[in-house]
Amino acid sequence: MSEQKVVYSFAWYQPEEWELLKRTVDDPSTLDDTYAEWRHNAENSISEIRANGHTINKTSIKIDQLMAWCSAKGLKPDSSARSEYAAFLAQQRAEK
């Protein structure tokens, strides 16, 4: 019996989407102050996950689509919903 490999999904933002995210979400204080800081921390997190032998995929997030998804689900676009959305996108990509 083969072991199923877990692939982690990491929400990935372009600079303009990051700025929009900071202006849009209910919990901006949970985010890094700048895109450069966020990117540095994100790259470090991804490196640590990969160093532990896990596969990780960056999932590009568009804020307008995130907001529409949250609205349809009745969710606030907080960190939990953003993680759930990234997982949702990864699942959709896997099914294609």
Query: How many angstroms separate the first and last alpha carbons of the chain?
Result: 25
CA angle at 35 for the pair 9 and 53, rounded to the nearest 5°: 30
Per-block mean pLDDT, blocks of 10 residues, the chain (96 long): 70 93 88 95 94 90 95 92 90 80
pTM of the prediction? 0.82
Classified as helix, coil or strand, 6 is coil
- 63-80 as b/e: b if 16+ CB within 10 A: beebbebbeeeeeebeee
Provide the pLDDT for residue 9: 85
